[in-house]
Amino acid sequence: LFTIRTAPKAFCRTSLHTTSNTLMRDTCVFPLPEPHDLFQASQMKFEDFQKDLTRHRRDLRACSAEVEKVCKLSDQDNLQPFKDKMEDFLAQVTHLLLPFSFLELTVFFSVKPKAGEKEVSPNTFFSIWHDFSSDFKEQWKKENKSILKERLKAAEECFRQAKEKATYKIKDKKIKIAIKNIICLDKE
């Protein structure tokens, strides 16, 4: 757990500046899930989640059957807008409800089970992500402030240079006018 807690801080220090410069060009959006959301996920009972997922899949199959039934019974003239929109909807929802493997997720992120556990529990996985996201968000905010200060300094410097240039031009014009007046007076 020590390496997991220190690794995010090292990651934050080394790559946060590059990440924040890339992501903060126009908008400043935190690139990870919010720590609070991850905390809530770590507290969730995944058995309930699996039940909900099963229920949603069953509802999707029923909806798909209803769409097929409506498409078979409808006239071709009235069918087209409904059929295309429902096919798009069903494709999107089916993609969202594709089965996923929590084990594959833990392997992808190289999360190892705690001592005494056979496999990584969702609570452990999301707790680790919560810690990482919290640390990253803290560094993100600091880096944000730093970049905003840099931008403010650059804008102030640009303004100062423009002001000096304008002042110089005005002084320069006044000197030229004064010289012309002196020359005109000398000619008279």
Query: Is 178 inside a domain boundary?
Result: no
Residue type, 73: L
pLDDT score for 135: 92
Decide if 44 contacts 122 (C-beta within 8 A): yes
pLDDT at position 187 is 57
Give me the number of domains the chain comprises.
1
Q: Quote the CA–CA distance of 169 and 171 in Å, as a whole number.
A: 5
- Distance CA(25)–CA(23), nearest Å, equals 6
Query: Is the residue at 101 inside a domain?
Result: yes
> Is 181 a domain residue?
no
pLDDT under 50: residue ranges of the chain: 1-20, 22-24, 26
Whether the Cβ atoms of residue 88 and residue 96 lie closer than 8 Å to each other: no
Please give the structure tokens belonging to residue 9: 């801080």
Domain of 146 in residue numbering reads as 2-24+33-152
| Within a domain: 169 | no
In a domain, 91, yes or no: yes
pLDDT at 11 (0 to 100): 45
User: Per residue in 96-123, pLDDT tens?
Assistant: 777 667 778 888 888 888 888 888 888 8
In a domain, 159, yes or no: no
- Does residue 171 lie in a domain region? no
pLDDT of residue 6: 40
pLDDT of residue 12: 43
